[in-house]
Every structure is written in C-alpha cells, then in structure tokens.
A and B are shown apart, each in its own frame.
Chain A
Amino acid sequence: KAGVTQTPRYLIKTRGQQVTLSCSPISGHRSVSWYQQTPGQGLQFLFEYFSETQRNKGNFPGRFSGRQFSNSRSEMNVSTLELGDSALYLCASSSLTGGQTEAFFGQGTRLTVV
C-alpha cells in the first residue's frame, strides 16, 4: 500500500506570490490534515478535510486555504506569501474507521519564501 505522497518536495517562492501544495492520502483514507512545522513553533494544525468538507481549522490567517477532491486528494494554497510562511508543510492521512485514528504523514513540502 502506497504511503502519503506530497508534491513538490521543495519549493522556493518570492514574497507576495501564491503557492499550491498537493497531498495524496493512503488509499481508502478519507481524512486529510495539514500541519505547518517551523523550528520555533513546532507542528501547528492548519485544517482537516473529510469527504471534501473542511471539518476543523487551526488559527491561521485566511491566506491559508485548502480543498479536498472526490478521490480524497487534497491541496492547500497560501496566497500573498510572507517570509514567515517558510516552513515544512506536512500532510497526514487518517482512516477514521473502526476507531482507528492513527495519522500517517507524508515527507512534507519544504517551502522557502525569499
């Protein structure tokens, strides 16, 4: 069974630009969560999608948005990039069936804003 796939692995963008990151969850998993990881703030929850609906949202500005498609693949978008958005963005997929709620992470997308 393939794991969680995130693309691209690395990205360099300029301040003010926008960026879209992609996540393909484990086959059969319907929940996709996104996290931002920075050295100073650790792993911070961005949002969770389940069956194409956003179910939970963290404390991030509206510049951060996401969506989920019918095949459970998810994208997150950051508009008007700021230097502070430089981070490792991690996607986690969960089955959420049968009481098993483990989250499995992808390798992440390393975003650098210059």
Chain B
Amino acid sequence: GQQLNQSPQSMFIQEGEDVSMNCTSSSIFNTWLWYKQDPGEGPVLLIALYKAGELTSNGRLTAQFGITRKDSFLNISASIPSDVGIYFCAGRYNTNAGKSTFGDGTTLTVKP
C-alpha cells in the first residue's frame, strides 16, 4: 500500500526561526494536504495542493506539491509560540474519494 515518510519527526526551534518539513511517498498522489493538530483536538487543515508544482501560501505558511507528485514540503516562516503542535501531511490518490494516507507527523516545539 501507499507509504508516507514525514520528516523530521520532531523539531525544537527558537521563536522567529523558519521551519521546514517534508513528506515523501512511495507512489504518486493527486492531492497533498497539510494539517496541524493541537493536543486533544482534531487536525485542522492548513493548506491543500492539487497540482504538481503548485506553491500555495497561507499567511506565514507555504507548501509545495512536488513535481514528481511523490513529495511535498511545508515551510513556516518567523515561527511564534502558537505554532507549537503536530503537523501532518496527507496524500490522496483518488480525488473523488475521501480516503487519505497520513504521515506520522512532525512535532514542533517553539522556545520563546
């Protein structure tokens, strides 16, 4: 089945620093989604990508859909304490179906 490798597993950064995380897949996806999850809550959608090469921003967040359709990255610029949480990537092959394959998450800690 499809496998998603998300890295790094965790990051400890200073407030104001930029952050980069990525996901790679063993097979292609037609949609990439990035989520943030706070403790005890459901994941919140940050960015959705639908085309290979697409670069999309949401405030300080920027994500790209890799050209090979097997990878995606998420950048956070000028991190702030509320960026703390777990970030998940998710891929979908069939755009008409609700099934997503998730990475294992990147736990972000921001030191003030």
On whether the beta carbons of B105 and A103 are closer than 8 Å, the reply is no
Using known A-B contacts A42-B105, A102-B33, A102-B48, determine if residue A94 contacts B98 with beta carbons closer than 8 Å. Answer: yes
Does residue A31 face the partner (Cβ distance < 8 Å to B)?
A: yes
Which chain B residues border A58 with CB–CB below 8 Å?
99
Jot down 22 A-B pairs with beta carbons below 8 A, ordered by A: A6-B42, A31-B97, A42-B105, A43-B43, A43-B88, A48-B98, A50-B97, A50-B98, A55-B98, A56-B97, A56-B98, A90-B43, A92-B100, A96-B95, A96-B97, A99-B50, A103-B45, A103-B90, A103-B100, A104-B45, A108-B41, A108-B42
Give B96's nearest chain A residue, CB to CB: A96
Mask: chain A, 32-62; 1 = CB below 8 Å from B; 0 = not = 1101000000110100101000011010000
Q: How many residues of B contact A (CB 8 A)?
A: 25
Which residues of B, 29-84, contact A by the 8 Å Cβ criterion?
31, 33, 35, 40-45, 48, 50
Interface size on A, residues (CB 8 A): 29
- 9 pairs of A and B residues whose beta carbons are closest in the complex: A105-B42, A31-B98, A43-B102, A33-B98, A48-B98, A56-B99, A102-B48, A42-B104, A94-B98
